[in-house]
Amino acid sequence: MTQLHDPQLRGFASDNYAGVHPEVLAAIAEANGGHQIAYGEDVYTARLQEVMREHFGEAAEAFPVFNGTGANVTALTSVLPRWGAVVSTSTAHIHTDEGGAPERISGLKLLPVATPDGKLTPDLIGEEAWGWGDEHRAQPLAVSITQTTELGTLYSVDEVRAIADYAHERGMVLHMDGARISNAAAALGVGFREFTTDAGVDILSFGGTKNGLLYGEAIVVLNPSVSDGLKYLRKLNMQLASKMRFVSAQLIALLSDGLWLRSASHANAMAARLRAGLEEEISTGSISGVNFTQETRANAVFVTLPPGVADRLRESFRFYDWNPATGEVRWMTAFDTTEHDIDAFLAALRTELSV
Which CATH number characterizes residue 309's domain?
3.90.1150.10
Is 208 found in the same domain as 273?
Answer: no
Predicted confidence at residue 238, as pLDDT, reads 96
Is 333 found in the same domain as 223?
Answer: no
Dihedral, CA atoms, 281, 287, 289, 290, nearest 10 degrees? -30
Predicted confidence at residue 77, as pLDDT, reads 97
Position 15 in a domain: no
Q: Using CA atoms, how far apart are residues 249 and 241, in angstroms rounded to an integer?
A: 13
Is 283 found in the same domain as 216?
Answer: no
Is 130 found in the same domain as 64?
Answer: yes
Predicted confidence at residue 321, as pLDDT, reads 97
- Phi-psi label, residue 73: left if phi above 0, alpha if psi -120 to 50, beta otherwise: alpha
Spatial CB neighbours of 202, under 8 Å, sequence gap ≥ 6: 79, 164, 173, 174, 175, 221, 222, 223, 226, 227
Is 200 found in the same domain as 321?
Answer: no
Is 332 found in the same domain as 316?
Answer: yes
pLDDT, tens digit only, all 355 positions of the chain: 899 999 888 899 999 999 999 999 999 999 999 999 999 999 999 999 999 999 999 999 999 999 999 999 999 999 999 999 999 999 999 999 999 999 999 999 999 999 999 999 999 999 999 999 999 999 999 999 999 999 999 999 999 999 999 999 999 999 999 999 999 999 999 999 999 999 999 999 999 999 999 999 999 999 999 999 999 999 999 999 999 999 999 999 999 999 999 999 999 999 999 999 999 999 998 899 999 999 999 999 999 999 999 999 999 999 999 999 999 999 999 999 999 999 999 999 999 998 6
Is 269 found in the same domain as 251?
Answer: no
Predicted confidence at residue 232, as pLDDT, reads 97
Burial class (CB in 10 A: 0-12, 13-18, 19+), 74: buried
Number of domains in the chain: 2
Is 285 found in the same domain as 247?
Answer: no
Q: Using CA atoms, how far apart are residues 222 and 197, in angstroms rounded to an integer?
A: 6
Name the pTM for this structure.
0.97
Neighbours of 89 (CB within 10 A): 25
Q: Using CA atoms, how far apart are residues 78 and 97, in angstroms rounded to an integer?
A: 21
Position 9 in a domain: no
Helix (H) or strand (E) segment spanning residue 271: helix 259-283
Predicted confidence at residue 34, as pLDDT, reads 97
Structural domain for 312, as ranges: 260-353
Predicted confidence at residue 181, as pLDDT, reads 98
Is 253 found in the same domain as 287?
Answer: no
Predicted confidence at residue 109, as pLDDT, reads 96
